[in-house]
Chain A
Amino acid sequence: MSVPFASPRPRSALLSRIVAAVFGGYALASVFSIFVSHLLPAELPEAVLGATLFSFAVYTAAIVWVFAAASATRAWLGLLIPGALMGALAFALQVGGAA
């Protein structure tokens, strides 16, 4: 049941995953909270709060994903792609909403 701590994964890949989980996951949850605050059918302060209430579940799921992914590279991609998508859409909504 126990997979050794250091092997079979090389140490640098493990470190990469830990950084991805802690910081990448947090960044993804942050972008999620901004993006979803644009979508929720509530007034602005409530939309921000509502989106943030869900963001901790996203953070948890992101960490689980990072350690479940087949490789560290895939783990990073799994964070970066949805993060960039949500970030771009949030930016577009922000600019569009302000115009």
Chain B
Amino acid sequence: MKTTFRQSMSWLHTWGGLWFTWILFAIFLTGTLGVFDDPISHWLREKGKIGEFTPLTAEQRADAVRKAQAYLQEKSPRAEFWTIGLPDDENPELRVFWRADDDAPVHRLRLDAQTGRELPPGTARETEGGHHFVHMHFEFHAGMAGIWIVGAATVAMLVALVSGIVVHKKIFTDFFTFRPGKGQRSWLDGHNALGVLTLPFLFMISYTGLIIFWSIYMPAGILARYAGDEDAFFAKLNEGPPPRPMQFADAPVHELASLMQRGEAAIEREAGFVVVNHAGDRSAAVRIFGRFDPEAETDRLVGRSNGSALFDGVSGETIDVQKPNTVRGGNVLQTQRTMNALHFVRFGGYPMKWLYFLSGMAGAAMLATGAILFMVKRRKKSANEFGGATPRVYRIIEALNVAAIAGLSLACIGFFWINRLLPLDVAQRGTREIVLFFALWLLTLVHAGLRPPLAAWREQLAAVATLCLALPLLNLATTGDWLFAALARGDGETAGVELTAIAFGLIFAAALRQLQRRMAKPAVDTRIDEKTGAPANDVAPATGGR
């Protein structure tokens, strides 16, 4: 039997889409929340209550770097790298990071900028902040393995977009077609309208996402044309100084505070980070990075940078200076950088961030409706794709749908609750928050596996709606700060997070109400529940409100 192009694409769209939809939904939801990682961090760290951060003076910065260098020298005199993060608005403490060698774990600690001592747990609400969502988005907190999973899913997304366009011959008419309350037909209309509405955004965000990690995902060119020497390749591409390989000869690290001052003078901007590569080795190099300025240059896509100055880490000799917002490298590199900036929405300020937020949520909703549509269709009439195992496979897909869509939403809003409820003085608090986030997500999967599908949907949607709507009250109860206080002092970030949570709470409550209406209708088709083993009134309503 000959299949047409559209039939093959329909098959590819259905099955390629299904197996990746759960991962893709997670990537879209967390990435969209990540658009507002700064306001989310602001809320999670109670910065609205703590008040404005007083920037350090030049002398205080030099002193902080001296303290950090003494600490790192004692902890790890030889290291692949040391990084010193100077206190700033987002992180008011002095931060140090180091890694002894390639295989060792990265250590990260917070120090008191005045004394140089480790801060005991409980002195501040230690949290990964909004970056948690960004890390979920591109690597699921799983390092290189996570980056590859996200990359594979992104390619699947591109394939699903192409095959989706082929399947929908009436793409323009479909966009203006929405038939609510018609069960399966409504899910399809919703899926189509959301997909067509956000199509250019979806192509852009998926493709540019792959381009960010191009050298990891597609290293063939560097392997074949540069014999895999990435350092040499990137030095040439970025028109920077040549790489400095390890020399395996001990040499003391130059005094960093004076290098920082020289670096700040050279780039005409305050330092944000001091990085020492190959600390303790004769090949050591020190790079002073300019402080990130979110307000600057929001009207340009190309050539945004914080500036940096590079010094020989032993002699202190200047190797290279790049001033902030200068362009280096050729047109192709600028193209790639522009694609990065498009992905990270590093332009256009808040209006553009909101546009990305809405487009990203529409994309997530498109994925969710697609996954739900798959099952709505098959609850009505089993397509029997897996022979005798079909009911079992459907049951697993139902559970994964609930856990991936409602369950992840629950874990995301739950992260805000974990942040406020976890005691301040537990060790490794930032990591604990993330572990609890995953535990909550896993719990939603267990719940979805134990409960009948529609009951699982109902209960998890209700939980999401409750946690979203009650977020301002949680904040009030645990910190004494909340929406109205934030609005009164003009703290748009705190108020924005809580108002957005309320908006989501209302959306989830509306979804819940819709679901309960359907569940209240009498059973139409009882044939299916023999297969799924679910009670009749749990299955039948999904056959559509005909």
Contact = CB atoms under 8 A, between A and B. Distances in A.
Contact of A48 (B3, B159, B222): B222
Interface string B387-420: 1000000000000000000000000000000000
B51 interface: no
B1 A45 contact: no
Interface residues of B, number: 50
Contacts of B305: none
Contact of B225 (A37, A60, A63): A37
Given A2-B383, A63-B159, A68-B5, A33 B221 contact: yes
Interface string A11-31: 000000000000000000111
A15 to B, nearest CB: 13
Nearest to B335: A53
A44 B225 contact: yes
Nearest to A31: B220
B5 A33 contact: no
Given A45-B237, A60-B159, A4 B214 contact: no
Contact of B3 (A3, A59, A61): A3
A68 B9 contact: yes
Contacts of A51: 221
A63 B161 CA distance: 12
Contacts of B225: 34, 37, 44, 47-48
B366 to A, nearest CB: 18
Nearest to A94: B224
Interface residues of A, number: 39
A90 B155 CA distance: 25
A37 B221 contact: yes
A49 B3 contact: no
B330 A56 contact: no
Contact of A30 (B214, B220, B331): B220
Contacts of B221: 33-34, 37, 48-49, 51-52
Contacts of A50: 332, 335
A59 B331 CA distance: 24
Contacts of B233: 45, 48
B439 interface: no
A96 interface: no
7 nearest A-B residue pairs (beta carbon): A30-B220, A5-B385, A48-B221, A45-B237, A46-B332, A50-B332, A3-B11
Interface of A: 1-6, 8, 29-31, 33-34, 37, 40, 42-53, 55-57, 59-61, 63-64, 67-68, 70, 90, 94
Given A46-B329, A56-B207, A60-B155, 11 more contacts: A3-B10, A4-B385, A6-B385, A8-B1, A40-B332, A44-B225, A44-B226, A52-B214, A55-B220, A64-B9, A68-B9
